Amino acid sequence: MTTIVFALASVVVVSLVSLVGLATISIDEARLRKLAAVFISFAVGALLGDAFIHLIPQTFAPQEAHRSPLESSLLVLAGVLGFFVVEKLLLHRHGALYEQFHGSEKIDRPELAAINLLGDAIHNFIDGLMIGASYLVSPGIGLSTSIAVLFHEIPQELGDFGILIHSGLRVRTAILLNLASASLAILGAAISLLLGVVAREGITTALIPITAGGFVYLAAADLIPELQHDRSLRALVAQTGLISSGIAIMGLLTFVE
């Protein structure tokens, strides 16, 4: 029982990191929109760094020897293709998804917000699975895994918040949606605790490469083109530095894990 309490407490703390956007409540919305370009550049680095430094290497790790490199590669590409299909459906003017996401609140890029939330929700669900399973191994491993995920989530959630603001959402709406997405980590932890390590590994091995592909698609297809609008040398230097910072932070997190 103590293990369950500690596991759920850890995953709740990790989920609350999504409230990082509260720090921007006092900032004027017009000014915050300008800051969104900074968030977007950082998000590109964080998403690509997460995919290529953490998720894809884990997909091809020795413990995944039961799966061929071809299968792993196809799962990553399935993530790219899957997110492409979702975005096309969101943009399709005669589809139900278009009506759902183009409602009363005027959003500049609803499809961008939706696919970001989808990718982040899957990622948070996986984090919850890992935290729950690690506590089943031992409390020490559970705590260390929670700390690693916590440090990992701070830059990730900062970038996600910036994407939601850039898509046209109001600050409060972005915060609430980010929190809802992060809360799926609690569901992941609960499933892991109920079904055990074996079930967790079965779910995670399929979701990790798909999430990696989704992150690559989001960064390359949606965010990088947004950065191309400003073609000044100043923007080039600033954006390159911020993207590199996002990648660097994801790289440094490997020492914590």
Per-residue confidence at 142, pLDDT binned at 50, 70, 90?
confident
For residue 103, the one-letter residue type is G
Task: Of 107-116, 119-128, 226-235, 248-257, give the lowest mean pLDDT range.
Answer: 107-116
Q: What is the rounded CA–CA span in Å between residue 162 and residue 154?
A: 13
Tokens of 142: 């559970």
More confident residue, 199 or 211: 211
Report field, pTM of the whole predicted structure over 0.85: no
Q: Taking the domains of the chain in order of start, what are their residue ranges?
A: 2-256
Task: Give 50-96 pLDDT, tens digit per residue.
Answer: 889 888 888 888 765 677 889 999 999 998 998 888 777 766 655 54
What is the average per-residue pLDDT within 114-125? 84
| First-last CA distance in the chain | 26
Residue 44 has pLDDT above 50, yes or no: yes
Mean pLDDT of the chain: 79
Task: Tell me what pLDDT residue 236 has.
Answer: 93
Angle value at C-alpha 222, between 159 and 219, nearest 5 degrees: 50
Task: Give 143-192 pLDDT, tens digit per residue.
Answer: 766 876 776 677 677 778 888 887 888 888 888 888 899 899 999 888 88
**Ramachandran class of 27: left when φ > 0, alpha when ψ lies in -120 to 50, beta otherwise:** beta
Continuous H helices in the chain:
2-15, 29-49, 56-59, 69-91, 96-101, 110-137, 139-166, 171-182, 184-195, 197-217, 224-227, 233-256
Residue 240 has pLDDT above 90, yes or no: yes
Q: What is the rounded CA–CA span in Å between residue 119 and residue 215?
A: 7
Residue of 1, 50, 6 lying closest to 144 (CA atoms): 6
| Beta carbons of 213 and 118 less than 8 angstroms apart | no
| Beta carbons of 118 and 210 less than 8 angstroms apart | no
Q: What is the rounded CA–CA span in Å between residue 234 and residue 24?
A: 25
Q: What is the rounded CA–CA span in Å between residue 48 and residue 53?
A: 8
